[in-house]
Amino acid sequence: MARHQACEAPQPTEPPKAEAAAIPPPPADPSAAGAAPGTQDASDDDMFADDDMFADDGPAGAREGVLAGPKASEPEAIRGKGLADDWDDEEGYYNFRVGEVLDGKYEVYANCGQGVFSTVLRARDTSSPRQADGTFPEYAIKVIRANDVMRKAAEQEVSILNKLKASDPEGKRHCIHLIESFNYRNHVCLVFEALDMNLRETVKKFGRDVGINLRAVRTYAFQLLLGLKLLRTCGVLHADIKPDNILLNKSHTVVKICDLGSAMFSSGGNEITPYLVSRFYRAPEVILGLPYDYAMDMWSVGCVLFELFTGKIAFPGKSNNEMLKLMMDLKGPFPKKMLKRGAFVDKHFADDAHSSVASFFLVETDPVTKQPVRRAIDNPTRTRTIFSELERKAGAVTDRKKLHQLADFLEQIFVLDPDKRLHVNQSFAHPFIKDKPKE
């Protein structure tokens, strides 16, 4: 969840869409990617809700005043020591010091951001030989908050990361690669390969309100599908795929799925909650309280791909109730079989035995009283199409055949019934992924 450092993107190699000033160039073709082919109670705690996903929070990457080089490092005498009563803040986040050495070798030089579960630091491994440019290798270190709940979650994350690593020892299947883990002053620390900006920052910097080019979207899609396939092979549900949790390398040719702090094994017993996954990327089965599996992550990837191309969030609902309305605007009414089994269906729908379609109750705010009111929608219908929204964002040189293929690809991902949603193993045969775009 915490942000990694950003760097400047190379100049585009094809004309930008619409009014975009700059967009990343298309990465190498996928074949070269490394592997073959009701009312929401105000008291409800939606910890994954992001009300302003594009809020301007300053420059991406290491925080100003925290990033420091050798000249700004702390004196040798205090490196790695710190005051025992000042290690953590009141919420359990570690108070690091620039120049501090973790685990006897990782010299901290930057803070890359803070999330719900941890702080992410940048550090140099001073125990390793210097690289050709004279610098020490750099890593990202996720320092988990110091409390029993976070420690238990971190142990689960390490277990999942180690399983992914065992199945992909060279780290080529587009999931973040864990180098090692260790304990430091009562904090679990996870060491990862150092990557660059995340996809949220990419869209914000190079394609806000416009998106990035179709060739790049196709390549990133292929790589994300490889990541999903690895997760499935290892029996893992990520449960929080979103642009913030997908990192790029410095050349912006490779993406990797990261932050498995919410991930879980799919072997059963997982809690049914309507607030799993960040809201804009939350699959309908989660909102309705149905059992969830790998199709949940596929839905999230579809949301990411739509956002990459258009620069817009596919389903920007302010609540779960509004999310369902936006989904039906795109895909029509929910199958009644889904509405018969969901634990939270009665918050949003009223079943009518004499109708083939359940009535949906949209929760709105009364303009006078400012209180929530329910408005019945007896026959939800489609009011938008994927292709028309993609086409509005397409530039004059966009390959229209590939654009239609992307629309069909997303149509198959955005199937409301998870049992009928596009399977990751089927996705590689879809023309959008399989067929190369014209030169």
Show which residues are catalytic.
Answer: 240
User: Which residues have C-beta within 8 Å of that of residue 166, sequence separation ≥ 6?
Assistant: none
d(CA 238, CA 277): 9
Q: Which helix (H) or strand (E) holds 372?
A: strand 372-377
Closest CA to 283 of 424, 418, 427: 418
Q: Judge whether 70 and 60 are in contact, CB under 8 Å.
A: no
Residue 124 CA to residue 417 CA, distance in Å, equals 47
Question: Is 165 in contact with 159 (CB distance < 8 Å)?
Answer: no
How many distinct helices (H) and strands (E) make up the chain?
11, 13
In which residue are the tokens 């019934």 written? Answer: 417
How many residues in total does the chain contain? 439
**How far is residue 170's CA from residue 126's CA, in Å, rounded to a whole number?**
23
DSSP helix/strand/coil, 192: strand
Q: Name residue, tokens 């420690």.
A: 151
Q: Give the containing element (helix H, strand E) for 322.
A: helix 320-331
Between CA 204 and CA 66 the distance in angstroms is 23
CA distances (Å), 159 to each of 67, 166, 187, 263, 436, in order? 31, 11, 16, 10, 37
Q: Where are the alpha helices (DSSP H) in 208-283?
A: 214-233
User: Given 3-state DSSP classes, what are the helix, strand and coil percentages for the chain, each rounded to the nearest 5?
Assistant: 30, 15, 50
Dist CA 386 CA 414 (whole Å): 10
The CA–CA distances, whole Å, from 325 to 62, 287, 347 equal 38, 12, 13
Residue type, 40: Q
CA dist 293 and 235 (Å) reads 10
Q: What is Dmax (Cα atoms) for the chain?
A: 79
Alpha helix ranges (H) inside 168-293: 199-206, 214-233, 284-288
Report the Cα–Cα distance between both ends of the chain, in Å, rounded.
Answer: 37
Distance CA 293, CA 40 (A): 24
